[in-house]
Amino acid sequence: MITGIELIKACSAIGAGLAMIAGIGPGIGQGYAAGKGAEGVGRQPEAQGDITRTMLLGAAVAETTGIYGLIVAMILLFANPFI
């Protein structure tokens, strides 16, 4: 039977894996934004600068969710506060 520190480490590893699921949403959102940005530039090539700037700002905001998930996973694996 697993008890004590081993149980905490096992649950932390499971939690780190679940935290990495947070990377799925930003990946889908950024792909969708890039596709819509390409459509917008195709329709209005003269607005390429504005469209690209807005798309990159949105991608940066969306990526923060994935980065937060990565930070939580790394904390659980390498700097475990529960041990």
The pLDDT value recorded for residue 82 is 82
One-letter identity of residue 12: S
0.95 surpassed by pTM = no
Q: Tell me the Cα Rg of the chain.
A: 19
The pLDDT value recorded for residue 48 is 93
Per-10-residue mean pLDDT, the chain, length 83: 87 93 87 91 94 90 88 92 83
> Which 8-state DSSP code applies to residue 45?
G
- The residues near 61 (Cβ < 8 Å, ≥ 6 apart) are none
Give the dihedral sign, CA 7/9/14/19: positive
The pLDDT value recorded for residue 25 is 85
The pLDDT value recorded for residue 65 is 87
Going along the chain from its start, the domains and CATH numbers come out as 8-78 (1.20.20.10)
